[in-house]
Structure 1
Amino acid sequence: MEQYLYKLRLKAHFLERESWTQTEEEIISRHFARLKEYTEEGKVILAGRTLNDDDTGFGIVIFEAENKTSAEQFMRDDPAISEGMMEGELFPYRVALMREGKSR
């Protein structure tokens, strides 16, 4: 298996969380549930986001895939991307060091 990272950015008109409707809340809920499921299955190594809520904010997902094609498909299938809330950018990646233990 190869490792990949995709970087997520909210599209500009979704930066103000107060303007989200129930639809956007549901998309993000499905996005999070999917990442949680794949983390529990061992496919996702790490997922998280910066805490700044302006246009410099972003999230990352580090995961394993068989090849670039399957990695691209995995990224495109993320509800936040497939339903148009976020843009994703894929990179080949290799984890060099990782601490043991649980995250917060």
Structure 2
Amino acid sequence: MTTTTEYSYLLRPNRPDFITTMTEAEQAVMGEHFVYLQQLLSAGQLILAGPCLDAAYGVVIFRADSPEAAAAIMQNDPAVVKAVMSAEVHPFRVSLMEGRDDR
């Protein structure tokens, strides 16, 4: 039996000044990254995603059926595939969430 678990992956830019020095090619990759996340959202897998406003890292919280499936989701992100960002995946638990846990 397959159980869906929550995971997170942390994305770090390939250089500290990435946000202010992105090339046109890197901007295109980041557009592909955004489309990829939109597809995960449409598929019901994405819980939330976004960057830190100081550009230190981005986070993606999502559902997957196994650690291997979670790793594949991270590894197929265009920002990772095209080496614009490095990433690491971890099991994650959403303990509280606005809208779901409001009383």
Choose 77-86 or 18-27, whichever is displaced more: 18-27
Distance apart, 1:74 and its partner CA: 0.5
Percent identical: 33
Structure 1 residue 36 displacement after superposition: 1.4
How far apart in 1 are the matches of 2:67 and 2:88?
12
Indicate the RMSD between aligned Cα atoms, in angstroms. 1.5
How many Å apart are 1:82 and its aligned residue?
0.7
Query: 3-state DSSP class of the match of 1:12?
Result: coil
The alignment partner of 1:42 has SS state of coil
Unaligned runs of 5+ in 2: none
- Give 4+ residue runs of structure 1 displaced > 6 Å after superposition: none
1:63 aligns with 62
- How many equivalent pairs are there? 97
Runs of at least 5 residues in structure 1 that lack an aligned partner in the other structure: none
Distance in 2, Cα, partners of 1:16 & 1:82: 17
| Structure 1 residues 16 and 65: CA distance shift in structure 2, 3 A | closer
CA–CA distance in 1 between the matches of 2:34 and 2:75?
15
Task: Please state how far the C-alpha of 1:48 moved relative to its aligned partner.
Answer: 0.8
Shift of 1:42: 1.1
Of 36, 39, 42, which residue of structure 2 is paired with 1:40? 42
TM-score when scaled to structure 2? 0.86
Distance 1:66 1:16, change over 3 A: closer
